[in-house]
Structure 1
């Protein structure tokens, strides 16, 4: 089935096909993001360096600003990014502990 831009969808089947494809793309992007967490765990000299609250705040602020610039709800995106960053930190701790 052809994947149409949201603005061109006229049926729920088209919408769902597009959403499913985007979800697959998002998971692939998350894999790439978590690859960077593997790299960070390899590069950081000590476990205590895994959590960096200043960097976390910066990443969330950047996502919120980008979301708002794109016409998306900044607070909702900031909440998603908070969860994403926390999941990334947990993953990085696990990666650090495996090395």
Structure 2
């Protein structure tokens, strides 16, 4: 016997349609939960990188950092995200991910 499918209801109202701060906050909270899930997945890729990289010197790659930021800025423009938000957020994210990757690298190589 099949169970009926459960359909998740998105509590968000389109930002342009929000009429109250309750709707704005519900949308922001829903997006924050989605961002946490995406960041956790990104972290798992950093865990994989720490496992795969051949040596500790390979963890920090300035060319890769600039490549990632450049790609993010192109995507940000396409999605109308201010570069004044996108660039510093991603640079901090990359910095923290590198620190995490160093930590995992060191812990798994000890």
Shorter chain as denominator, the TM-score bin is: over 0.9
- Higher RCO, Cα 8 Å, sep 6+: 1
Of 34, 54, 66, the match for 2:43? 34
Structure number with the higher helix fraction is 1
Give the aligned CA root-mean-square deviation in angstroms.
1.3
**Secondary structure at 1:87 match in 2:** helix
Equivalent residues, number: 99
Q: What's the TM-score, normalizing by structure 1?
A: 0.94
| Alpha-carbon shift at residue 75 of structure 1 (Å) | 3.4
Runs of 4+, deviation exceeding 4 Å: none
Distance, in Å, in 2 between the alignment partners of 1:3 and 1:71 is: 19
Using the alignment, how far apart are the partners of 1:2 and 1:85 within structure 2? 31
Gaps of 5+ in 2: 1-9
Q: TM-score, normalised by structure 2?
A: 0.85
- Residue of structure 2 equivalent to 1:5: 14
The residue correspondences of 1:1-99 to structure 2 (distance < 5 A) are: 2-99=11-108
Larger-gyration structure (1/2): 2
